[in-house]
Amino acid sequence: MRRRANVEFASGQRGERCRGWLYEPEGNRPFPVIVMAHGLGGIKEMRLDAFAERFSDAGYACLVFDYRNFGASEGAPRQLLDIGKQLEDWSSAIAFAQQQPSLMRNKVVLWGTSFGGGHVIASAARDQKVAAAIAQCPFTDGITSAIAMDLRSSLKVTAMAMVDLLRGLVGMTPLMVATSGPPHSAALMTAPGAHDGYLALVPSGFSFSNHVAARFAVNILRYRPGRWAAKVSCPILFCICETDSVAPAGPTRRYAKKAPRGEVRLYRDGHFDIYIGEAFERVVADQLDFLKRHIPLKG
């Protein structure tokens, strides 16, 4: 039977603690390990456990963590999404996994979804020791995602972002914007179905903040992790939703072609569909097939 333990590791110059879960399967140690984290404003309780349980049942250990400022991890202000710090958290998580005697330091796999999928592409390009990577419905291009955003929502969020940037300059608390919301509302994800799809990932009765600091809406434009795909030397699986209204499929397919050892799986599903039900079963089966081919449990 698989085991799950609470773990934590330091990240950043201040040594703030990222907290997460370490899943270990049955069998003899050491195990290959999959390092996993969520997307925009997401935390590990939002269905990452479902993926980790499948992977650990197949023989892979999983390190699932929350970024600083989110979920169970330390950091302030809360809900402030700093792209640089999140990439730093990925590096810290990889280093932590490589230091564990129960895990194979030469078989570290990165798995990220949505905004975390973009981080996986960037992190795998930066760390050539990563053995493989899986980018699920990945955010790959800030400009194209901004263009895909509803105009009324975009104008409202941009105004809030500018105010929040000014507040940050004078040391005031962040102005929060909703991560998801109804169409045309002041929220980062307002495509039809996005609000319900995002909140459906939160366990019933679980306390969760559907907000991030608004300044993120400006910073996201400069973030184009898909451009790193050409520098990813390890095998990387792109799981792309063809009707994705949050992370458009077109740019991701173009970036994926540039990955030297890239593989692509397409799904006729929306951005939030593949976390649950039949779509979840399809995508996790493809990911396990990829893992078994590239990260065998023996040898």
- pLDDT (tens digit per residue) in 189-220: 999 999 999 999 999 999 999 999 999 999 99
Residue 165's pLDDT band (boundaries 50, 70, 90)? very high
pLDDT digits (tens, 9 = 90+) for 92-123: 999 999 999 999 999 999 999 999 999 999 99
Question: How far apart are alpha carbons 192 and 278 in whole angstroms?
Answer: 21
Strand pairing category for 3-11 and 16-24: antiparallel
- Residue 299 has a pLDDT of 62
- Residue 138 has a pLDDT of 97
- Alpha-carbon distance values, 219 to 72, 109, 150, 279 (Å): 24, 27, 18, 32
- Residue 161 has a pLDDT of 96
Between helix 277-294 and helix 48-57 the angle, nearest 10°, is 40
The DSSP code for 296 is -
Question: How far apart are alpha carbons 223 and 220 in whole angstroms?
Answer: 5
pLDDT digits (tens, 9 = 90+) for 39-93: 999 999 999 999 999 999 999 999 999 999 999 999 999 999 999 999 999 999 9
- Residue 73 has a pLDDT of 98
pLDDT at 178 over 80: yes
- Residue 148 has a pLDDT of 87
- Residue 1 has a pLDDT of 82
Question: How far apart are alpha carbons 39 and 114 in whole angstroms?
Answer: 5
pLDDT digits (tens, 9 = 90+) for 7-45: 999 999 999 999 999 999 998 999 999 999 999 999 999
Of 62, 59, 127, 47, whose CA–CA distance to 97 is shortest? 62
What's the pTM? Answer: 0.96
Between helix 83-99 and helix 115-126 the angle, nearest 10°, is 60
pLDDT at 130 over 80: yes
Cα dihedral 72, 73, 74, 77, rounded to 10, equals: -80
- Residue 167 has a pLDDT of 95
Residue owning tokens 């893992």: 291
Question: How far apart are alpha carbons 187 and 169 in whole angstroms?
Answer: 23
Secondary structure (H, E, C), 138-154: CCCCHHHHHHHCCHHHH
- Alpha-carbon distance values, 160 to 167, 176, 209 (Å): 10, 8, 18
Give 239's contacts (C-beta < 8 A, 6+ positions apart). Answer: 134, 135, 136, 137, 265, 267, 274, 283, 286, 287
- Residue 279 has a pLDDT of 96
pLDDT digits (tens, 9 = 90+) for 227-252: 999 999 999 999 999 999 889 999 99
Give 298's contacts (C-beta < 8 A, 6+ positions apart). Answer: none
Question: How far apart are alpha carbons 44 and 9 in whole angstroms?
Answer: 15
- Residue 245 has a pLDDT of 85
Residues forming a β-bridge with 176: 213
For residue 20, report the phi and psi dihedrals to the nearest 5 degrees. -165, -160
Residues 129-136 have a mean pLDDT of 98
- Residue 126 has a pLDDT of 97
